[in-house]
């Protein structure tokens, strides 16, 4: 998994992976900075690595990430709050193997500040999406969504909290379906 911060989706995926019936396991966590999520992973016995983009530059950082994912036989790369855009070469190398969770009902509200924008634009429905990562921001195939109705007098903060609770349901469900559907050939479980 690739993260940058809090790691609540990482936590939800780790918990889901503990179930004996889970078709995926979380095998490795990379952060682009000091991230609380790394502590969550370490507590669960999952190796973590910080790859500092500033020190090496984007290309080298991505090459390092690519190498480490390969070494650990990762099959699916899950992004959760990873605050970097992946370069086209990286996306090409992992084509249809990178998933992201986004806090809106895509294709609506691509990009940042989705909860504030949903309220400002008067959306009655809001939610979250898991999609395949492509070269275009938040534009790849949508694999699953969870919706809620926006309440009257809702704040961006309350909306964020309610959507986040949905994210924690959605990501494990979609990843399980996706990992289960991948034809691995080897019969191995999907390592993310």
> Which of 63, 132 has the CB closer to ligand GRF?
132
Tell me whether residue 102 is one of the annotated catalytic residues: yes
Using an 8 Å Cβ cutoff, are 88 and 67 in contact? Answer: no
Alpha helices by DSSP H, listed for 26-73, are 36-43, 53-56, 58-71
Choose the stretch contacting ligand GRF; rule: CB under 6 A; options: 2-10, 67-75, 90-98, 181-189.
2-10
List 8, 22, 48, 134, residue binding ligand GRF (CB under 6 A): 8
Tokens of 36: 């609380």
DSSP 108: S
80/133 with CB nearer ligand GRF: 80
> Which residue matches tokens 């390092």?
64
**Residues 22-61 vs ligand GRF: string with x where CB under 6 A?**
---------------x------------------------
CB–CB of 64/51 below 8 Å? yes
Q: Do 24 and 191 touch, CB atoms closer than 8 A?
A: yes
Q: How many CB atoms lie within 10 A of CB 182?
A: 15
**Residue 172 carries which DSSP code?**
H
- Pick the piece of the chain touching ligand GRF (CB under 6 A) from 7-15, 21-29, 51-59, 132-140: 7-15
- Under the criterion CB under 6 A, does residue 164 sit at the interface with ligand GRF? yes
Answer yes or no whether residue 5 interacts with ligand GRF by CB under 6 A. yes
What distance in Å separates the CA atoms of residue 27 and residue 13, rounded to the nearest whole number? Answer: 11
Residue from 1, 2, 7, 74 binding ligand GRF (CB under 6 A): 7
Whichever of 81 and 190 has its CB closer to ligand GRF, that residue is 81
The residues binding ligand GRF (CB under 6 A) are 3, 5-10, 37, 80-81, 101-103, 128, 164, 167
């Amino acid at each position: 998994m690739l993260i940058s911060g809090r790691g609540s989706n990482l936590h939800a995926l780790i918990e889901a992976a503990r179930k004996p019936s889970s078709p995926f396991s979380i095998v490795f966590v990379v952060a682009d900075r000091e991230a609380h999520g790394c502590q969550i992973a370490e507590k669960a016995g999952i190796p973590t690595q910080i790859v500092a983009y500033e020190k090496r530059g984007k290309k080298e950082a991505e090459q390092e990430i690519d190498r480490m994912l390969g070494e650990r036989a990762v099959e699916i790369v899950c992004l959760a709050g990873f605050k970097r855009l992946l370069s086209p070469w990286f996306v090409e190398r992992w084509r249809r193997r990178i998933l992201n969770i986004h806090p809106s009902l895509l294709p609506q509200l691509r990009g940042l500040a989705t909860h504030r924008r949903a309220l400002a634009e008067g959306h009655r429905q809001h939610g979250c999406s898991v999609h395949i990562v492509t070269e275009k921001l938040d534009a790849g195939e949508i694999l699953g969504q969870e919706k809620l109705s926006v309440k009257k007098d809702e704040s961006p903060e309350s909306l964020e909290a309610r959507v986040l609770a949905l994210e924690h349901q959605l990501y494990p469900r979609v990843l399980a379906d996706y990992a289960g559907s991948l034809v691995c050939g080897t019969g191995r479980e999907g390592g993310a």
